[in-house]
Amino acid sequence: MKKLSVLSMLLSRGVIPVTLSLLLASPPNLFSQSTAEDHIVSPQAIQRQVESSSATRQRDIATVTEFLASTQAERAMRDAHLNPDQVRTAIPTLSDQELASLSARAADAQQKFSAGMIGANMLVLIIVIVAVIIIVAAIH
C-alpha cells in the first residue's frame, strides 16, 4: 500500500505535470500532418520567377552587347589587342551577378558620355576595362 501511494505521489507531482508542460509548450502543429501545399512553391510562381530572371539576363546581355558594339568600342578593343568577337562571345558566359554589374556600369558610362559628363577618352578606357573584365571572367 505504501508503494502505491509513493508511486501515485510521484506521478501526480512529477511525471504528469512535466509531460503536460511539454505538450503545452510544443507548437500546435507538431502532431498534425502538414499538406504538401504548405511547403511547396506553386509551379506558376516558379515559372514567373524563371521568366523574370531570364528576361533580366537577356536585357543585361543586350545592354553590354550594345555598349561594346559601336565602331568606337571595336576600335578601342582592337587597339588594346582584344578580339571584339571573342569579347562578344564571352558575354553570355558571365554569371548573373557579373552580367548585372557590367550592364549597370555600361549603361551608366553610356549615359554619362551622352550627357557630356565624361569624355571620349574616358569612355574608351571604360570600354577596354569592361572588355578585359568580360574576358577574365569568362576564363575563370
- In tens digits, what is the pLDDT along the chain, a chain of 140 residues? 555 566 666 556 666 666 767 667 666 665 555 554 555 878 888 888 877 788 899 999 999 999 999 999 999 999 999 999 999 999 999 999 999 999 999 999 999 999 999 999 999 999 999 999 999 988 87
137 within a domain of the structure (yes/no): yes
Give dist(CA 102, CA 108) in Å, integer: 10
Domain assignment present for residue 65? The answer is yes
pTM of the model: 0.66
What local confidence, expressed as pLDDT, does residue 129 receive?
A: 93
Instruction: Confirm if 140 and 74 have CB atoms less than 8 A apart.
Output: no
DSSP states of 33-92 as a string?
A: PPPGGGTS--HHHHHHHHHHHHHHHHHHHHHHHHHT-SHHHHHHHHHTT--HHHHHHHGG
Is 49 contained in some domain? no
The SS3 assignment for 16 reads helix
pLDDT of residue 77: 94
Q: Is residue 23 part of a domain?
A: no
Residue 16: all three cell numbers together: 504528469
Quote the pLDDT of residue 41. Answer: 79
**How confident is the model at residue 43, as a pLDDT?**
83
Total domains present in the chain: 1
What is the rounded CA–CA span in Å between residue 39 and residue 48? 18
Q: Return all residues near 57 (Cβ < 8 A) that are at least 6 apart.
A: 96, 99
**Is residue 93 situated within a structural domain?**
yes
Domain that holds residue 65: 56-140
In a domain, 113, yes or no: yes
Determine, yes or no, domain membership for 28: no
Task: Please give the pLDDT value at position 44.
Answer: 85
